Amino acid sequence: MERILKMALAEAEEAEVYREDFQNTTVSFQSNRLKAIDNSFGQGIGLRVIKNGKIGFSSITNIEDLQFLIDSAVTSSLIGQPAFFKFPSTSKVTQVKCFDSAVASLTVEKMVEEGKEAIKAILEEFPYLKCEAEIEKTTAEISILNSSGLSFSYKKSFYSFYVYAFLAREGDFLGVGEGESSCQYKDLSELLAKRVIEKIKLSQKKATIGTGIYPVIFTSKAMPIIFSPLKRGINGKLVHKKISPLSSRLNEKILSPLVSIVDDATFPYGKSSGPVDGEGVPSRKNSIIEKGVLKNFIYDLQTAGLMKTDTTANAARGYDSLPYPSTTNFIVTPGKISMEEMIKDIKEGLIVDQVIGAGQSNVLMGEFSVNLDLGFKIENGKIKGRIKDAMATGNIYNLLNNIRGIGKKIQPINSTYTPPFYFAKINVSA
C-alpha cells in the first residue's frame, strides 16, 4: 500500500489507498437438502486521488496491475468532481466490537449441521413443506492509508443465517422466511425454525378483509420498508441536491414524539459496525430522531464539504467504489407495549409481516404501496388467519405521526434494529 501511495503522489497532490482482504464460506440448502458449499477469497484495492482539485478513482483485484491503477485514477480525475474535502489525518479511534473469532473458526461441518437442524425442526411439524436455507460467514481485513498520514487497519467478521419454508398448491402459495445477521456467531437454527413454525401455524386458517381503513401492526421484519424513505431523506447527498423532503426541516418535529432513532456504527457486533468509516474517520453514534424531532443528516467527507459542515462518519464503500453517505446500524428506541397487547387492542385490523417487493411509488416523499406476502387478520383482539390478495397503501410520514404504540422488543433486520409498530390507520385494498 505504501508503494501505491508513493506512486500516486508522484502524479497527484493527494491520494488514498483502500484495501480489502476477505474469505467467505456459504452453505446453501434447496428442497430440504444440501445444495452447495462455496468458498471464496480474494483482495481488492481502491485508489482515490485528488489532482488539480478534482477527484479520480480506480480499483484492481490483481496486485500486478499497479501502474494501471495509478494511470486510471489520474486519468479519471480529468472528468472527476471537484473535491470539497481533505483526507483525514491520524486521530483517536475507539475500539469497536466487530470481529468474532468464533466466526473465523466456525467449520463447514457445523454450518451444514445447523442448516439441517433448522430444516428438520420445520419438517417435523410440517412434513409437506419445502425448505431452503443459506448460512454464510465472512472474515475480512480492511486497511486505509492516505497522504495526510492516516494508516489504519482492522478485522471484521460477518455471520448470517436465513431459512425459508414454502408450500405451492394450485391457486395458493405460502412462503415464510426468517433470518438474522451480525458480526458475531450465534447458533440461530432453533430460533429461526421456531419463528417459521409459529407463522406457518398462524397461516393454517384463511381470513378475509374488506377494502377500508384499519389499524395495523407492522412486525419488526416489515418495518424496514417504512424506514427506507426516512433513510433516504436524511442522506446528505440528497439534502445537498435539495430533493429530500427533509432538507429544510432540521430541528423540526417530523414524526411522533414516541419515535427516537440513532445511527450507531459503534454498536457491539452490529452488522454495520466498525472502528472507522470508509474514509478512516472514527465511528460515532449520531442521533437522527429525538422524540420526533429531526436532529441530524448523515454525511461523508465530500457531501459534508459541499454542505459546509462536518462529516458524521457515515462514509460507506467497497474497494471498487467511491465513498458515499449511508446509514450504519439504524437503531430504533423500543416502546413499552408487547405484541400481544397490540393485538388485544384491535377490534378489526391487520398484521403486516412480509410484503412483495419494495412497492414504493414515490420513495422520497414517503409514499408506499405494497402487496401483502404474509399478513394476518385480527378480529376482537385475536389472530383469525392469513390474508391473501390485499394491498396496503399510505405515506410513511403520516404513519409515523399516528402511532398507537411501539413494541418493547427489538429485532435486528440486516442493519435495522427495530421493534414492531402499531399504527392507528392504514388504507387496505382487498
Question: Given this model, what pLDDT does residue 7 score?
Answer: 94
Question: Given this model, what pLDDT does residue 295 score?
Answer: 98
pLDDT in tens, 13-54: 999 999 999 999 999 999 999 999 999 999 999 999 999 999
Question: Given this model, what pLDDT does residue 358 score?
Answer: 55
Rounded Cα–Cα distance for residues 269 and 276 (Å): 14
- DSSP state letter for 276: B
CB 181 within 8 A of CB 361: no
Q: Is the pLDDT of residue 347 over 60?
A: yes
Q: What is the mean pLDDT of residues 333-350?
A: 96
pLDDT in tens, 220-233: 999 999 999 999 99
pLDDT band at 91 (very low <50, low <70, confident <90, very high): confident
pLDDT in tens, 304-333: 999 999 999 999 999 999 999 999 999 999
What SS3 class is residue 299? coil
Q: How large is the greatest C-alpha to C-alpha distance in the chain, in angstroms?
A: 74
Q: What is the mean pLDDT of residues 59-78?
A: 93
Lowest mean pLDDT among 107-116, 359-368, 390-399: 359-368
| Amino acid, res. 412 | P
Q: Is the pLDDT of residue 171 over 80?
A: no
Q: What is the mean pLDDT of the chain?
A: 95
| C-alpha atoms less than 13 angstroms from C-alpha of 104 in its C-beta half-sphere | 11
DSSP for 360-415 reads: EEETTTTEEEEEEEEEEEEETTEEEEEE-S-EEEEEHHHHTTSEEEEBS--EEETT
Q: Please indicate, yes or no, whether the overall pTM of this predicted structure exceeds 0.85.
A: yes
Q: What is the mean pLDDT of residues 247-273?
A: 97
Phi, psi of 358 (to 5 degrees): -70, -45
| Nearest residue to 262 via CA among 119, 410, 393 | 410
Rounded Cα–Cα distance for residues 331 and 338 (Å): 18
CB 110 within 8 A of CB 165: no
Q: Is the pLDDT of residue 361 over 80?
A: no
Q: What is the mean pLDDT of residues 184-213?
A: 95
Question: Given this model, what pLDDT does residue 169 score?
Answer: 79
What the block records as the C-alpha cell of 228 is: 427506507
What the block records as the C-alpha cell of 122 is: 420445520
What SS3 class is residue 406? strand
Phi, psi of 301 (to 5 degrees): -65, -45
Question: Given this model, what pLDDT does residue 17 score?
Answer: 97
Q: What is the mean pLDDT of residues 394-422?
A: 96
Q: What is the mean pLDDT of residues 107-114?
A: 97
Rounded Cα–Cα distance for residues 273 and 287 (Å): 16
Percent of the chain clearing pLDDT 90 (strictly above): 90
Question: Given this model, what pLDDT does residue 364 score?
Answer: 80
pLDDT in tens, 362-390: 778 888 888 899 999 999 999 999 998 89
**Cα first-last separation, the chain:** 59
Question: Given this model, what pLDDT does residue 357 score?
Answer: 62
Rounded Cα–Cα distance for residues 119 and 137 (Å): 19
pLDDT band at 398 (very low <50, low <70, confident <90, very high): very high
What SS3 class is residue 220? coil
CB 298 within 8 A of CB 235: yes
Question: Given this model, what pLDDT does residue 362 score?
Answer: 77
Pairing mode, strands 330-332 and 367-379: unpaired
Cell 508513493 belongs to 6
Question: Given this model, what pLDDT does residue 40 score?
Answer: 95
Q: Is the pLDDT of residue 260 over 70?
A: yes
Domains of the chain (ranges, CATH numbers): 2-200 (3.30.2290.10), 206-226+334-429 (no CATH)
